[in-house]
Structure 1
């Protein structure tokens, strides 16, 4: 059995590694990328020594990004006159007309860049061009000013090469560069003389191979003495126009020089030249391709800056180091030494390390398996001993150490199965979310622990206490006595009379309680808990800090509420709402001064007084509010287009809509899109929106005011401190509630209303009287300077077509 366990453990680990490996490879294989095309134009041919490295570097980036690379060669070292350029141009133009369009062009070295600059409009109009291997800094700078060109220059590290050469030969007095009259050679010579002032101890000279035949050059080279630092930069063409390759040039230098020849570019190192700090053409190609990928992935060419630091590194021929007795201590640490014999370990370093790692892994694996076998019995014993701990984790709340919902459900099921009657009490803390949001979750957890301490004091054989989750607790009352149940409820209420002190801060908490009886309210544990939860949430909606027993009506209300929520969601989705408009009349003109937009359901006879609270509770009020705003502003635009005189529309704004932090921006956009001035929109708020006088609420109102929206305080007179609101709300109008007007008319005390109107006028507010249903009300309020009137005496809420007939003089 022990061996079986060991094998299962080993094969399980191996299987896991195999699954991980294939998962990664399968996900890579399934990745789909759009194929894009890039053209590389080389100044030279495929046999030129630098070109294969450039192409290899470019491919290392493009191929793994699913980019197709084509290559064209100008072969300008052998053919570079107007005729050859014309032939190359015509052939390339023909090919490009027959092939798929290129997404980007890469040009290598100076001649190809000049070609791209000369024929950009004809061949590469609007196509990003990335250059590399450019020796002529002026040409590179000029190209970089073109918004479609960027790239990497080829800085030949001449300064570093002269510095290292001077270290190797401190007796040197001259620095001599071998150049020619090719574009590359001209660029090399400019770079060489650009650093002259940095070496006061050396005189700077050059040997221009284009001023000699190659036979004459041999004797010039033989006369170069030990006091000279000799740099081979360009040596392609002599004065007769004869061209030679780099390999041929290296042969001449090797045979006819008596000093180390330094090289700032690839070629010849390992075949007779000492070397130096030189350009890595692979790295240059890789960087250029990375710049192309940035552009293909969305960056503008102008944002991809030209790279002025070449990816250069030191490479020396160890045989030449020995030949000229150069002190190896002077060689930079990061240098690459060619022809340097290394020991077996250095030669096969990677293979040896990998082998050792595999052996180490196998030894460790065997040790682990052996250890697993030795410890198996001990582990099994510990697993048995930890059963109780696992059971506690599964059945007890980690924060409070109270039994959790699973444990509570099991205990309740046992009581039901015994046929015993009892009750389930659900306790939900009121406004606990505010504690978490203001003082933090850690602080909230400490309060929950304090509450747990008090609840635990009532736990006994008759009372089983558990945590339901979040800020909710469950009590199982194992008693048929109603007296015992009410005693328990009173105990729970008393627990919250005193505050809970955390970090020297006293927190007064309130709780809503829901009670479900069993078997009266159910015979299944899940259902009884759900019924207690329903009663608790009903208590919360009824004003909080209440205790309610579950009734079937609560379930029906919950179902009705859920049905209404479904209706509202369908209405938002399928254009199930409409707006009606109730005019408010001007006391000065007797005509409609504006309209209040009121929302209705098209296909359901559910009044707003029923579905608006549901919308507020489930969060749909934000989308409904935006719908009302959009429809009302759109209607203003339609009336404006039909030539009707624009009149303001009032929109009712719920306190729950304050959660719509983007409402102001949304309103601005809707007004702008419909070309409606903000002055034609009036936002009606109620006192409930101002209860906390929160800074965010005031900021919201001032933002509306500042953009030109009018603000009205609706249902004035129904709150507790209405007069106080008038002193700080940035509003334009006060709407007197119907209940306030009816009350003062019943008491025959219009002087109170007159005082309110006078106060509002003194604060530059206009007054609208709501709920006007009799001529007497209208005349009395008009006589005490009420500004506007709204109510069924004038008009009920009307459909758009009725508004147009009555108030826009469109009667048949």
Structure 2
């Protein structure tokens, strides 16, 4: 009896413990599932709105700094009862003249709503506020942040109603840690564009040249390159390079890229370590870097604004020049490169770091333990255990089904474009690489909607997406039955793989596509017509699928260049052109390293005395068969023209010194200055050092600058022209009359000599029209400028130009470009 009662008690205890154990296991499991599958934001009790402020943001919500700035402002302002309205200045779409329209719009907003203070995000907003301060914001406290121009921040802080935070740049710190991680890599490459941030980036980059004297510095300006050219240059970077990826969201065609798109291009193309000293790009192939903590700075800015609104004087808050930074590196890439983690700061954030056993399974271990106890008790109490087991299996099955459903959803997001419900770029690229072989016949097409940005601006993103959805639906109609693969390649770009077919320019497939694209698209009661540029590449049994994509993209850009609304198929001529450019680049690199350039000098003749008055220096390559018309454009596109500029300048100054030492009479020599040399910030110092080194008076060196560069009126160009003038170097305007009709600008540009282009001589120096040339010469003399006439090839041209009062004649009538020893002894026959 005692034994039976004991067993009953044990059974009862087992039942109780089983239930208790199961409950505990379920609680742990629920907590684990909730923390793993649901990320609920903490709900805060709203506070009363006490203040209303205005936030002027320089760009659009798509700009990479926006999310971090908004997060910081919300954390610091909302709990204090401060509400803000936002005006997006969208500065990338407006020049200074357009700000008058923005000013009127802001003025209307200020008239309808009263704001106690103003927040200013980034440089353009601060410039706008300073320009219209007295008109729009008089006596209104302003707090700025994210400012990349230090002088702008300092000047703004002098205003008694302004204070804020300078956007500290951590390029120096990033370069420092990069050189420690890769001591063997001696080439530093910066990738940026011509935006305000990009210009600040490259200025600071070249300033580091003094600190890193043993390193080679390369400047890649994405705004001067097409996407294809950029990819090529990134793929061609030397193996000892480190790439510093900065502000570069626009290209030569005016396209603007998101941080995701541009980062994807950079990390895929560049087979070198990529660093970044700005937010954005983590978990996307960037090795790492140090950047300003934008969110922390905005929290600080919001706190300052709250104190000002609560009565503290704005003068008690001086300009803050140093704000917190964030150091972040990719753990997996550190491992890939075999780098020493001890070289990183103690506060570094390592992402993509694999979790250890406790990190990975610690949250579920209590659940597993309790389940083991439960199963042990089930064995003791079989009937109850069976029921518990059945319930438990059902719960696990539900969890499994949920996980499968979630996995399918995540797979869809990873492989498809959600807006258009077609493959995304990564998926189509992987499919093409994994599926197609050298034996397969197929065509790759890239379709880009012409002027799609204008559709976004005029109709809005929602309607623009609807247009893309309509086009995709129509293309699917002919593609599904032929087993086409369609993907979204970019914002308004589609990639189509057509199996078992090599398309031609006039095949039915191409005609059908253009018929779909060009057909009016219904928009309610209206219709809209669009066009597209198509690039295609056909299988040849040799080229890889990835290369076909690049070929098609290059052909698409060629279609754009040919006037849009058409198709270009990648052919041998395009391939030959690309290979020729590669060959020229290789020869240029050899020439840079092996003294591969020399100079010719074309005499310039005084029209009155027929004596040599000067020379134009013209660069040539020692490599046979390579002419300036071939290597100069390649150097321009590759960002190497500054190197040629320095080489030619040094050759000319050394030649002047050689002539002087030989007792020859010296005359001024002009060298050409390319617009891309504006990015060579040390060029003027380089020239000054050479003149001092060889003891050449500055007036013997002249700088020839094209007409267009004078008219850009950029601050960088104006500064360089001023420095040339201060050195005593004369400026010549080359190619006058080739692109501009107005002569009014000649009254204010800092030019001493005008060179009339040969095309005007050929066109107007004829009977009945030559008074135009005569009038131009007289006008230049009235403006106290000398006149050089280029391209004179006939005696009668010289005689007539001399009668018109031309100062100097240059052309084949007197001499072609000749070597230095012939040029110094040249006499007019």
TM-score for both structures, normalised by structure 1 = 0.46
Give the structure, 1 or 2, with the largest relative contact order (CA under 8 Å, sep 6 or more). Answer: 2
TM-score for both structures, normalised by structure 2 = 0.45
